[in-house]
Amino acid sequence: MDEKTTEEKTETTKTEVKKTETKKNKKTETSDAKKKEPEETTEDAPETEEAKPKRHIETREREASQSTGTKLVPLEKYLEAGAHIGSRFRSGHMKRFIYKYRPDGLCILDTNQLDERINVAAQFLSKFEPQEILIVAGRIYAQKPAKMLAETIGAKYIIKRFTPGTLTNPGNENFIEPKVLLVADAPIDRQAIKEATHARVPVIALCDTSNLLTNIDLAMPSNNKGKKAIALIYWLLAREYLKNRGLIKSDADFTTTPDDFESKTEMKEKKEPAGGRFASFRGRGRPGPSRGPQRSGPRQAY
């Protein structure tokens, strides 16, 4: 019995030794694998660092090629016309359309969103007949582009002064019932927007960074004060409208250019007198409210 017990003990000790050896081997293998992993990464590190900028450049080029392929005009056209330049003021409504801020304080608009919204506006306008579209332009630089756009597609237009009651008063001799309204500057064309909302007419507007989007259904974030920018946007609207309506087959069939839509009038600057604003009142003091007839000569004592 003693011999059997000793044999069993020796067998158990042998099995335990084998188990411990296998565990040690596994630990050594895992430790060796862990040691080898950083060596492999250090060898591949310079390759990944060099590959990263290449991959970044390739993705940027692909994105650029895709964006330029879907754009209505190349990006350079928007930049040359200054359609991306906003003002130094920004509203909360237009914050999402701002791409960046220049050191001088000017806001730069996102041309991708501008291009997309011009396309959407043209598709929306193409659902209406030309006589159902009304284009209003009170700003000087927007008057000729608005007239050219209306004449090109056959829409109605009102430039310069918008008569109150044009969209709401049936007794007005100029009463119109459009189904969509297009304006170039919301603050200047606010009367037309007010009457359009009262008549439940959708409003499309060119909006600068300082504009509010109240009562505007579709905003095109752009420079709505530059004559080149307005001409380019209205030229694109005319071309895309004719294409969507099937009146022209391709861009080559549209023979007019943005220069044909551009206003040639120049803004007249107000010139001050040589001596300043109050030069004509010099010696008499600043102008004040009228107090009746003034006595000539020195004041007499009573």
Dmax over CA atoms of the chain, in Å, equals 153
Q: Tell me phi and psi for residue 185, to 5 degrees.
A: -150, 115
Between the alpha carbon of residue 55 and those of residues 44, 46, 49, 68, the distances in Å are: 16, 14, 10, 20
User: Which range among 50-54, 96-100, 288-292 shows the weakest confidence by mean pLDDT?
Assistant: 50-54
Token digits of residue 122: 């043209």
Measure the CA angle with vertex 70, ends 68 and 75; round to 5°: 35
- Tell me what the mean pLDDT of segment 249-269 comes to: 83
Pair type for strands 180-183 and 156-159: unpaired
- Contact by Cβ (8 Å): 122, 100: no
Q: Rounded mean pLDDT of the chain?
A: 76
Residues comprising the chain, all counted:
302
Calpha distance 46→149 (Å, rounded): 58
pLDDT at 25: 56
3-state SS assignment for residue 5: helix
Residue 56 above 90 pLDDT? no
Block residue for tokens 């159902």: 132
pLDDT given for residue 289 in this prediction: 53
pLDDT over 70 percentage in the chain: 65
Condensed to tens digits (0 to 9), the pLDDT of residues 101-145 reads: 888 888 889 889 999 999 999 999 999 999 999 999 999 999 999
Distance CA 197, CA 167 (A): 10
Per-residue pLDDT of 210-250, as tens digits, reads: 889 999 999 999 998 889 999 999 999 999 999 999 999 99
Encode pLDDT of 63-73 as tens digits. 433 444 478 99
37 has pLDDT over 50: no
Overall pTM > 0.85: no
Q: Which residue has the higher pLDDT, 248 or 58?
A: 248
Amino acid at 145: P
Structure-model confidence comparison of residues 37 and 26, the more confident one: 26
